[in-house]
Amino acid sequence: MSGKVYLVGAGPGDPELLTLKAARLLAAANVVLHDALVSDGVLALISPAAEVINVGKRAGRKLLTQDEINSLLVSYAQTCQTVVRLKGGDPTIFGRAGEEIEALRKAGIEYEIVPGISAALGAAATAGISLTDRRVASQILFTTFSRGSDGSVMDWGCVTSTTTLVLYMPGADYAEVSDRLLAGGLPADLPCVIVSRASGFEQQVRWSSVARLASEERLPAPALLIVGRVASRDVAEISASFWDRNRRDPSGERRSVS
């Protein structure tokens, strides 16, 4: 009889941010296949009797292809009762869970998704900001930074003055990120914040702006970039400036936002 695969969110790093269900499954798992950036504190919760396999990537080099990971999940589920696929943050946000789910469905393997605190929420909590501060933000856009020619796929038309833009995996070249944001029409003085290793002992927070980002020193991975008015240390001041630029002029027309 086949076992069951659990796609588990490891959260941003702090093991105390795991769900109770995630912790219980790690303690009971027969096999755990985990990403490279899952924290040591979370890995320490895995049963000593479990087989633990690192299937992540370091410095851009993959230990296994996604097809190989899919095959391992199917193979282990055919011989083990509890198989955990452990992913940083939440498994359904930039975790390639869709491909693994498809492989499990085709093989007739039972699976379950166990949500985790996403990297975006962990980074926002570390920086002490609200991603949807109603004074300055009306929407959030989660995306990854695509380098080279792939950058053209970004639909900048959906990014407004009240968008909080969350960039996963901004990489090491912040200058390229800055150039792309400026080319997309974002103001040079728009606040942003880089959060590295959110919720861990080595977490770092660096406040910047779209233009200054180009000269910022690289922070250790995993890192995440939050761009928007919410990324200001003084949201009240940003909010007042925003409303001032959007008030109606004497002609009754609404002023545009820079």
Active-site positions read 35, 57, 169
Q: Label the pairing between strands 61-62 and 57-58.
A: antiparallel
Residue that the structure tokens 């977490």 belong to? 203
- For residues 139 and 116, what is the distance between their CA atoms, to the nearest angstrom? 21
> Which of 112, 100, 166, 118 shows the shortest CA–CA distance to 9?
118
Q: How many CB atoms lie within 10 A of CB 32?
A: 26
Is residue 41 exposed (0-12), middle (13-18) or buried (19+ Cβ within 10 Å)? middle
What is the C-alpha separation between 211 and 257, in angstroms, rounded? 18
Using CA atoms, how far apart are residues 127 and 11, in angstroms rounded to an integer? 16
Q: E-strand spans in the chain? A: 4-9, 31-34, 51-54, 57-58, 61-62, 82-87, 110-114, 139-144, 163-168, 191-196, 204-209, 223-227
Please give the Cα distance from 258 to 246 (Å, whole number). Answer: 10
